[in-house]
Amino acid sequence: MKSANDNAPLMAPKDAAAATSLSRTLLALMAEAGEFPRPVKLGQRRTAYVRAEVEAWINERIAARAAA
């Protein structure tokens, strides 16, 4: 189901988690380890992921599966 923010350049951590089917906690850990795009800090307690980077990460996983 598409939301009104599907074309926004940034996505909330919960949206990135839904897009990848991974938890927000795991995405944060993977970002710290350099295995997932790092979020953008928007304020003291707010972060968001760059939608294009998350989509590219997903597409890389799909391409890797096809290549294997």
Digit-coded pLDDT (tens) for 2-52 = 565 777 999 999 999 999 999 999 999 999 999 999 999 999 999 999 999
Q: How far apart are CA 47 and CA 60, in angstroms?
A: 23
Instruction: Tell me whether residue 3 is in a domain.
Output: no
Instruction: Tell me whether residue 42 is in a domain.
Output: yes
Instruction: Tell me whether residue 49 is in a domain.
Output: yes
Shortest CA distance to 39 belongs to which of 51, 22, 23, 56? 51
Instruction: Tell me whether residue 32 is in a domain.
Output: yes
Residue 68 has pLDDT above 80, yes or no: no
Instruction: Tell me whether residue 48 is in a domain.
Output: yes
Residue 10, strand partner residues: 50
Asked if 12 and 21 touch (Cβ cutoff 8 Å), the reply is: no
Instruction: Tell me whether residue 60 is in a domain.
Output: yes
Based on the structure, what is the number of domains in the chain? 1
pTM for the full predicted model: 0.86
Residue bearing tokens 């990135």? 16
Instruction: Tell me whether residue 26 is in a domain.
Output: yes
Supply the range of the domain harboring residue 28: 10-67
Instruction: Tell me whether residue 57 is in a domain.
Output: yes
